[in-house]
C-alpha cells in the first residue's frame, strides 16, 4: 500500500499538484499498523493538504483515537449510518451497530479533535427516515451530514431492488426543498449527486455535483476507478502512472459529453448534468446508459 501511496505522491509532485484524501475501504480501521504507517507517510508530505477517514467506526476506542490525533492533517472522521433508527440501520449494518455508532460519535466529539460527519446512503428502505435523520444530525451536533444515493456494487450488488427510482429521487428533492425552504424547482437540483448538510452556525444545505475528472479512487493494488462508486477499472497506476492512465482513458474523455450518452441524457438541456454514470454502470453495465433516476419528461 505504501508503494501505491508513494507513486501517487510522486506523480502529484511532477505536476505541482496538491490534494485532499479520503481513506476508506472495506474498513480502514481493521489493520491498525498499516493505517498508522499510511497516515504517517501522507501526513509528512507537503503535497497532502488534508486527510479524512471513512469508517463504520466500530473499532474506534480511546487508544485508537489517541493514535489518530498524532496526525495534524487528519481533520475529519466520517461514519456510516444506514438509518435514523436501529430498526432501519441494524438489518444492514448488523445488530447493535446503531447504538454503537452513536456512542462512537460521542467519543469522537468528547476528544474535540476531529470533525464528526455522518454518511447516510439513501435507498428505498430508509428514504422515509430522511427528516428523522436530519433531526438526529442536529440533535447529535454533527459537523456535517452527507446524503448519498445507494449504488449496488460489492456486497450490495444483489440489492438492486433498493435503488431509488426516478419517483423516489424527485420526492427526495421536493422534501429537501421544503425542509430547507429553497427557492428552486426539483429539476434545478438534478445536477447534484449528493448533498452536504451543516447544522451550525445555522442549518444549511450544499449540493455536490459529480466530480468525474476532478477526483479519483485508487485501490491498494494500484487499480484506478473514476470514483469510489464507479467500479470501472481505468488501469493500474503502478504499470502506467496516473497521468498515462487518465490520458489514455476514452471513458473519461466521453462520459461527460452528452453526445455520447444514451436515452434522455443524449439530448438533455441541463448542460451541467450527465446523470449518475456510476449508477448507470452498476445497473446496466453500460456507463453511457440513460439515467435511471432522472424524472424529466
| pLDDT tier, 165 (very low <50, low <70, confident <90, very high otherwise) | very high
For residues 200 and 177, state if they share a domain: yes
Containing structural domain, residue 16: 1-209
For residues 35 and 156, state if they share a domain: yes
For residues 101 and 51, state if they share a domain: yes
For residues 60 and 22, state if they share a domain: yes
Residue 1 confidence (pLDDT) above 80: no
Q: How many domains does the chain have?
A: 2
The DSSP output letter for 82 is S
Find all residues with CB under 8 Å of 35, minimum gap 6, and list them.
23, 28, 29
Q: What pLDDT was estimated at residue 154?
A: 75
Residue 92 confidence (pLDDT) above 90: no
For residues 170 and 238, state if they share a domain: no
| Cα 130-101-179 angle, rounded to 5 deg | 20
Would you say 69 and 37 are in contact if contact means Cβ atoms under 8 Å apart? Answer: no
E strands along the chain, which residues? Answer: 19-23, 48-55, 74-81, 115-122, 144-149, 192-198, 204-209, 217-218, 223-225, 235-236
Find all residues with CB under 8 Å of 121, minimum gap 6, and list them.
80, 82, 148, 149, 150
Name the pTM for this structure: 0.92
The pLDDT mean for the chain works out to 94
Residue 158 confidence (pLDDT) above 80: no
SS3 assignment, position 124:
coil
Nearest to 120 by CA among 104, 101, 107: 101
For residues 170 and 230, state if they share a domain: no
Amino acid at each position: 500500500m505504501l508503494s501505491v501511496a508513494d507513486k501517487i505522491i510522486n506523480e502529484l509532485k511532477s505536476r505541482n499538484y496538491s490534494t485532499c484524501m479520503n481513506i476508506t475501504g472495506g474498513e480502514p480501521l481493521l489493520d491498525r499498523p498499516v493505517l498508522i504507517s499510511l497516515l504517517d507517510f501522507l501526513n509528512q508530505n507537503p503535497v497532502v493538504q488534508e486527510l479524512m477517514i471513512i469508517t463504520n467506526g466500530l473499532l474506534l476506542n480511546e487508544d485508537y483515537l489517541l493514535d489518530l490525533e498524532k496526525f495534524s492533517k487528519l481533520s475529519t472522521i466520517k461514519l456510516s449510518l444506514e438509518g435514523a433508527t436501529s430498526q432501519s440501520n441494524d438489518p444492514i449494518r448488523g445488530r447493535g451497530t446503531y447504538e454503537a455508532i452513536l456512542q462512537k460519535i460521542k467519543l469522537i466529539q468528547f476528544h474535540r479533535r476531529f470533525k464528526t460527519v455522518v454518511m447516510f446512503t439513501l435507498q428505498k428502505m430508509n428514504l422515509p427516515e430522511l427528516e428523522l435523520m436530519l433531526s438526529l444530525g442536529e440533535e447529535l451536533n454533527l459537523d456535517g451530514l452527507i446524503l448519498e444515493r445507494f449504488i449496488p456494487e460489492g456486497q450490495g450488488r444483489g440489492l438492486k431492488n433498493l435503488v431509488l427510482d426516478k419517483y423516489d429521487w424527485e420526492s427526495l428533492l421536493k422534501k429537501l426543498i421544503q425542509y430547507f425552504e429553497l427557492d428552486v424547482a426539483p429539476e434545478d437540483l438534478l445536477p447534484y449527486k449528493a448533498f452536504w448538510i451543516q447544522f451550525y452556525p445555522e442549518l444549511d444545505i450544499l449540493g455536490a455535483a459529480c466530480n468525474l475528472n476532478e477526483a479519483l479512487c485508487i485501490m491498494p493494488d494500484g487499480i484506478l476507478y473514476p470514483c469510489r462508486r464507479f467500479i470501472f477499472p481505468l488501469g493500474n497506476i503502478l504499470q502506467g502512472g496516473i497521468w498515462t492512465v487518465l490520458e489514455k482513458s476514452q471513458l473519461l474523455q466521453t462520459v461527460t459529453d452528452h453526445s455520447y450518452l444514451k436515452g434522455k441524457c443524449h439530448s438533455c438541456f441541463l448542460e451541467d448534468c450527465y446523470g449518475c454514470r456510476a449508477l448507470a454502470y452498476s445497473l446496466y453495465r453500460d456507463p453511457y446508459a440513460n439515467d435511471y433516476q432522472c424524472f424529466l419528461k
